[in-house]
């Protein structure tokens, strides 16, 4: 695979085409990707559970810079994540289009992959990744996955946090901040 400048990894039960046409894509839910396989890119943008996938990939390969958007941190029980997912769906919901519906149709497979990602220990990755290779974006209205408690947790680890006017759902504010941070990483 030819090296790409930037690739995007979507969150749970989603596809990258729903986010940006300017980035390469790693559709972990559609392609059943393995986080241990090297992502050949300069910058990886991971959103939601895709951010956790990106962290695990970095730990294995240590070859990219990361922009994480609303990552699912710190490690919690699967039951706790499920409760948060239900609360999120009730409050913010998800838009279903043709591409996403194809992925949702494979829910048992995606749930198994998500469970595997969530069972991995990623707190230590945040301790070893060079801070100049990491940027984290948090929607200040995300009360479900990357809430204020997570913001404090990241700050205590010395990670620079970029807070934007958003909830957990991707929006224009998140997209604009991602573009700014990607450009900083590509053209320092």
pLDDT at position 140: 98
Count the Cβ atoms, other than its own, within 10 Å of residue 43: 25
pTM greater than 0.75 (yes/no): yes
CATH of the domain at 102: 3.40.50.1820
Dihedral, CA atoms, 159, 147, 16, 170, nearest 10 degrees? -110
As beta bridge partners, residue 137 has 69, 162
Distance between CA atoms of residues 52 and 149, nearest Å: 17
Choice among 101-110, 141-150, 152-161, 174-183 with the minimum mean pLDDT? 101-110
pLDDT at position 100 over 60: no
pLDDT at position 106 over 70: no
pLDDT at position 91 over 70: yes
pLDDT at position 113 over 70: yes
Q: What is the DSSP string of 85-103?
A: HHHHHHHT-----HHHHHH
Higher-pLDDT residue of 48, 114 = 48
As beta bridge partners, residue 162 has 137
Distance between CA atoms of residues 26 and 41, nearest Å: 11
8 Å CB contact between 76 and 49: no
Residue-wise pLDDT for 163-174, tens only, equals 999 999 999 999
Residue-wise pLDDT for 117-153, tens only, equals 999 999 999 999 999 999 999 999 999 999 999 999 9
Distance between CA atoms of residues 48 and 92, nearest Å: 14
Number of domains in the chain: 1
Q: What is the mean pLDDT of residues 82-91?
A: 87
As beta bridge partners, residue 134 has 66
pLDDT at position 58: 97
Residue-wise pLDDT for 5-46, tens only, equals 999 999 887 777 767 777 888 888 777 788 999 999 999 999
pLDDT at position 107 over 70: no
Angle at 179 between CA 169 and CA 61, to 5 degrees: 90
pLDDT at position 98: 66
Range of the domain at 9: 4-186
3-class SS shares of the chain: helix, strand, coil, % to 5? 45, 15, 40
């Amino acid at each position: 695979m030819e090296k790409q400048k930037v690739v995007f990894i979507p969150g749970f039960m989603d596809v990258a085409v729903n986010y940006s046409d300017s980035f390469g894509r790693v559709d972990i839910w559609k392609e059943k990707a393995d986080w241990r396989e090297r992502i050949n890119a300069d910058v990886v943008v991971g959103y939601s559970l895709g951010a956790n996938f990106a962290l695990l990939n970095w730990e294995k390969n240590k070859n990219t810079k990361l922009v994480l958007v609303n990552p699912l941190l710190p490690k919690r029980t699967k039951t706790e994540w499920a409760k948060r997912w239900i609360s999120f769906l009730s409050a913010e919901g998800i838009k279903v289009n043709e591409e996403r519906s194809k992925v949702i149709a494979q829910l048992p497979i995606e749930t198994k992959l998500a469970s595997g990602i969530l069972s991995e220990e990623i707190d230590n990755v945040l301790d070893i990744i060079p801070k100049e290779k990491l940027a984290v974006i948090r929607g200040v209205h995300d009360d479900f996955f990357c809430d204020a408690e997570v913001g404090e947790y990241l700050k205590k680890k010395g990670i620079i946090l970029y807070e934007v006017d958003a909830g957990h759902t991707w929006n224009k504010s998140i997209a604009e901040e991602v573009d700014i941070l990607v450009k900083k990483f590509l053209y320092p």
